[in-house]
Structure 1
Amino acid sequence: MDYDYEIEVIETEAQPVLSIREITSVNDLPEEIGDSYQAILNHMSLMGEQPSDMPFVAYYNMDMDNLDVEIGFPTSKPLAGIHDIEVSEIPAGLKAVCMYQGPYNEMEPVYEAINEWLEENGYEPTGVVYEFYYNSPEEVPESELLTKIMFLLED
């Protein structure tokens, strides 16, 4: 198949993060993301710390009414959590990554292309997918939104 997306497999070390994990609906997700990012940034600021990379949402399922998501920021080292902000990590191992530019609600073809590519190339996804957000709808038009999609793979 001919792909419109550049998909590559990388291997990474474990990445410490501060995050909030919750169950939410797709309709409530934007508000949950905003509230969680703000709470984590405020907590990091009180510790004199900054995120080490772009904010992310990890999707542990694709049940649009009961999404199991982890919302957070990578950190340069494990940092203390507080209340519902937890110390966690993006696990080490193989990942399939693809940069996507465009509206969030038009990502489905990218997911389909990645899944097809993984199957054709003999990779098995774990079912956990991370999205890293390089900008936001408040900053740029939807057509310019940049998202790195990262599928965790079985080793």
Structure 2
Amino acid sequence: MPRISDFQVIERGPQATLTIYSDVELKQIHSEIFESHKKVAAYIQQLDMKPSGPFFVIYHEFSKKSVKMEAGFPVRMERTGKEDIQPSHLTSGLFLTALHLGPHQEIPKIYTEMNQWLEQNHFKTTGVSEEIYYNQENSRVKENQLVSMVLIPIEKLET
């Protein structure tokens, strides 16, 4: 049961974040995401703050062997970084979104569906994709209960 929502076009304003930028081998993505989540969450707590939204990953670049990604949390106002945790921001603009239920390894199927929607509805992508992870696998949440949102920045094609 991968996609659990219709596709939606949303507009989002800019958002301050604290993130870790990584260039990681594909086979290490899951562990890198887990470590980034843990480190950024601990730093935000150390600042006596709470995230202003769920954990996210922006996928800047894929190759056959590695991925350049940025993982972190939105925060209410820009803060200074520490070591590999740095201030950044979520970009503003129009996004095509869809919710996914299930293992993260199944999310690529949604990208295929989104690309078809973009073509059929005369839109094109304008940047890099983002995934928001609303929960994490643990003793109470099983892999098939993971909820994620995929966001792709878009603009309408000239017709």
The answer to whether TM tops 0.5 is: yes
Q: Secondary structure at the match of 1:109?
A: helix
Q: Secondary structure at the match of 1:100?
A: strand
**Residue aligning to 2:29:** 29
Query: C-alpha separation between the residues in 2 aligned to 1:18 and 1:145?
Result: 23
Q: Could you tell which deviates more after superposition, 56-65 or 92-101?
A: 56-65
* CA-CA distance at 1:108 after TM superposition: 2.1
Note the 1:133-152 alignment, pairs <5 A: 133-138=133-138, 139-152=140-153
**Residue aligning to 1:122:** 122
Point out 4+ residue stretches in structure 1 off by more than 4 angstroms.
none
Relative distance call for 1:154 and 1:25 in structure 2 (3 A) is farther
**Residue aligning to 2:95:** 95
Relative distance call for 1:4 and 1:132 in structure 2 (3 A) is closer
Relative distance call for 1:4 and 1:145 in structure 2 (3 A) is closer
* CA-CA distance at 1:102 after TM superposition: 1.2
Note the 1:1-155 alignment, pairs <5 A: 5-138=5-138, 139-154=140-155
Q: Secondary structure at the match of 2:109?
A: helix
Aligned residue pairs, count: 153
Query: C-alpha separation between the residues in 2 aligned to 1:68 and 1:154?
Result: 24
Q: Where do 5+ consecutive residues of structure 2 fail to align? A: none
Query: C-alpha separation between the residues in 2 aligned to 1:127 and 1:115?
Result: 13
Query: C-alpha separation between the residues in 2 aligned to 1:102 and 1:90?
Result: 25
Q: Secondary structure at the match of 1:119?
A: helix
TM norm structure 1:
0.91
